[in-house]
Amino acid sequence: MVPIIAGNWKMNKDVTESRALVQELLGLVSDTKDRIIIVIPPFTSLSHVSEIIHNTRVKLGAQNMHWARSGAFTGEISGLFLKNIGCEYVVIGHSERRHIMGENDETINKKLKTALDIGLISIFCVGETGEERDKGQTEEVILRQLNKGLEGIENEVHKIILAYEPVWAIGTGKTASPQQAAQIHQFIRSQLRKNTAILYGGSVKPENVDILMAEKDIDGVLVGGASLKPESFARIIRFSTP
């Protein structure tokens, strides 16, 4: 499986900053082969970044979309609009959307179905909170997120990318150990009807990417904070395993 390195910029980088970031990144990674590189800027920057990465190895993703194709949904964005400006990927069910914006398994399921229908590749995020882990509920929570999120599309999971993002590791500097992550990746894989890529996310940085990527069940990484600086994201893209 070709490793997938995705950078989620979250609500950072205006258009000017986005253009500069991606331009610098291209200069640093243009010779990198055998990696799928995805940048995931905020909506306002997507079309600008799309023009810059056209005909390069860097691919475009969005951070969210609505489940309907169009209609009276003020403030929402259709997946069709994303495709139209060159997005190939869309993050669905990120923990910040679940925990801050109130998304639930049912709406996430609708979004995954629509993305499949219109031909966008979802990066479907699952993961437990620190409290759930402390209570020994990690597998139960992930199983619920997988079962409800993938309801009705279980046989198409090979067209979706999974991301295991323990909430306690996101933006906290606390990374899951490679063993902890690999254990959950194996659990997730054992629950899927078909094989697909499973990314790890949560405080991935240049200092820990090599040991994480050395785990055979970790097929790539979803990077937040460390994707906002071209040098650190380029180093992550250039990870090397022993």
Instruction: Based on the shown chain and the rule CB under 6 A, indicate whether residue 127 belongs to the binding site for ligand PGA.
Output: no
Q: Does 126 bind ligand PGA (CB under 6 A)?
A: no
Q: By C-alpha distance, which of 4, 3, 5, 77 is closest to 46? A: 77
Could you confirm whether 17 is annotated as catalytic? no
Number of residues that bind ligand PGA (CB under 6 A): 13
Window 191-210: contact mask with ligand PGA (x via CB under 6 A): ----------xxxx------
Q: Please identify, using beta-carbon distances, which residue of 26 and 222 lies nearer to ligand PGA.
A: 222
Judged by beta carbon, residue 78 or residue 227, the one nearer ligand PGA is 227
The catalytically annotated residue of 128, 132, 165, 215 is 165
Long-range contacts of 144-152, Cβ-Cβ distance < 8 Å, separation of 24 or more:
144/105, 145/93, 145/105, 145/108, 146/188, 146/191, 146/192, 148/105, 148/106, 148/108, 148/109, 149/93, 149/105, 149/108, 149/109, 149/112, 149/124, 150/109, 150/112, 150/124, 151/109, 152/109, 152/113
Tell me how far, at minimum, the Cβ of 39 lies from ligand PGA, in Å. Answer: 13
Q: Which is nearer to ligand PGA, 53 or 204 (CB)?
A: 204
Q: Residue 117 or residue 176: which is nearer to ligand PGA going by CB?
A: 176
User: Any idea which residue has 């306690």 for tokens?
Assistant: 168
Applying CB under 6 A, the residues found at the interface with ligand PGA are 8, 165, 170-171, 201-204, 222-226
